[in-house]
Amino acid sequence: MADVAKPIQQEARAAKAAKKSPLETAKEIAATMCRQPKEAHWLGVRMENVLRVYERKIAGVTSANVCDYLEALMRKGQVEWQVKQSLDAIGLLMLYGYQREDLAIPALREAWGSRLNQRVGISVSDVSENATEGGSPVTTRLRRVLRVAHYAVRTETSYTQWWERFEKFSGARPESELGADEVRAFLEDLAVERKVSAATQKQALNALVFVFGQVLGRPLGNLGDMIRAQPKRHLPCVLTVEEVSRVLAELDGVPSLVGQLLYGSGLRLLEALRLRVKDVEFESGQIVVRDGKGEKDRVTVLPEAVRESLLLHLEGVRRLHQQDLAAGFGGVQLPYALAVKYSNADREWCWQYVFPAAGFSKDPRSGAIRRHHLHESTIQRAMSEAVRRSEVPKPASSHTLRHSFATHLLESEHDIRTVQELLGHNDVATTMIYTHVMNRPGLGVRSPLDGGLRKRLSHSR
């Protein structure tokens, strides 16, 4: 009998030894899902961390408990990607380790999104997993190349859209069959059939040249004779000093402050909205524009007239930033790899936007939830309404204030080279266009109608 029982006991011990713990099971699954061992390692570490908190009551853990745990991580200073990794680790552990389908990753993401919605006023869709960016394989490669080269999000959007339009025009043919002839036909169609401007056709050409040269490794070379859209010379819309005063008087709050900076400093709209606290130098009376058009830095004047209003505005922004920090947020997007080099810099006061948005939004690339700068459409709508109420009979926009800044400086006899530097123009010829819309046109030419003929007409009446 004893001889019979012995093998049974050995089999039982072997079966027990072969049985893995929920943590080990989840770790093995994570290892098969991760591309890199390092990622699987950290998922395992985060599984162990949550087990230390909930191991004795793991059966009773709810999605609310998980959200509380994630909030605690944020209060300890963990950034968005770390919290997201913890959420994924918990979802894997619960599903594969404890067979809790109600706490799988999709369910946890929805619950965490609802929690953030209650806290900061963003939608659940904003914090869900980044959707796979659509498009052809070439589009995916294009995005990767642009991001490695630190191209702007707007450039990425523009280039990918032009490539998709080119693919559609070419009848979805394989990219290996596309070349200079197809590009020429597409660009000529834009000019002849679509009647686009010269600038639009040039933008499409630049996008396709980049794709063929940098992504496909097949430079287009000389496209030969091609029908091009004819460039037109337009004079900028400029307001008089009195008209500027009337328009600015119709702006209130933050739009008023932004409008004063556009006119008083000659900033482009996005340059003003992207200002960081550190870029406004009150003591020296100047504004440092970082990564302006063409990724160039420059210095321009800080108007004395907005000094007090801007200081008062920044006090309110600082209080908002402190509230965000207390809620576990407060981080902003940093240029290039500064977020890696200085891990806590995104939460520091000096890096915060001067004009922050009212709510949180998702970074289109990283998926991180942050408070971005104010959206340009807010100022554009306010400016359009202000022009309407002021009854200024001109199609003025926010950029008109920058044109007016340059023109009024030239009318005040400031050196054109100085104005060029303040505006950030590469070529003085670009700045020269404002001499054609000054209040003293030409070389003081007097119209012949204002001469003797005018007197004769007045006498004849």
**Active site amino acids:** 268, 293, 399, 402, 425, 434
What is the CA angle 398-403-409, rounded to 5? 130
Residue 192 tokens read as: 């002849």
User: Which residue do the tokens 């950029």 mark?
Assistant: 399
CB-based contacts of 143: which residues, under 8 Å, 6+ apart?
133, 156, 160
Of residues 283, 318, 316, the one with CA closest to residue 302? 283
Question: Residue 369: which H helix or E strand, with range?
Answer: strand 369-370
What is the CA angle 338-341-346, rounded to 5? 50
To the nearest 10°, the Cα dihedral for 148, 151, 153, 157? -90
d(CA 439, CA 443): 11
CB count in 10 Å sphere of residue 132: 7
CB count in 10 Å sphere of residue 340: 8
Residue 47 in contact with residue 90, Cβ under 8 Å? yes
CB count in 10 Å sphere of residue 398: 24
What's the order of all strands across the beta sheet hosting 286-289?
A: 280-281, 286-289, 298-301
Question: Residue 459: which H helix or E strand, with range?
Answer: helix 452-460
Of residues 323, 339, 336, the one with CA closest to residue 371? 323
- Produce one character per residue of 349-358: b if its CB has 16 or more CB atoms within 10 Å, e if not: eebbbbbbee
Of residues 368, 365, 370, 366, the one with CA closest to residue 352? 370
DSSP string computed for 250-297: T--HHHHHHHHHHHHH---HHHHHT-BGGGEETTTTEEEEPS-TTS--
Question: Residue 301: which H helix or E strand, with range?
Answer: strand 298-301
Helix (H, G, I), strand (E, B) or coil at 328: coil
**How close are the terminal C-alpha atoms of the chain, in Å?**
139
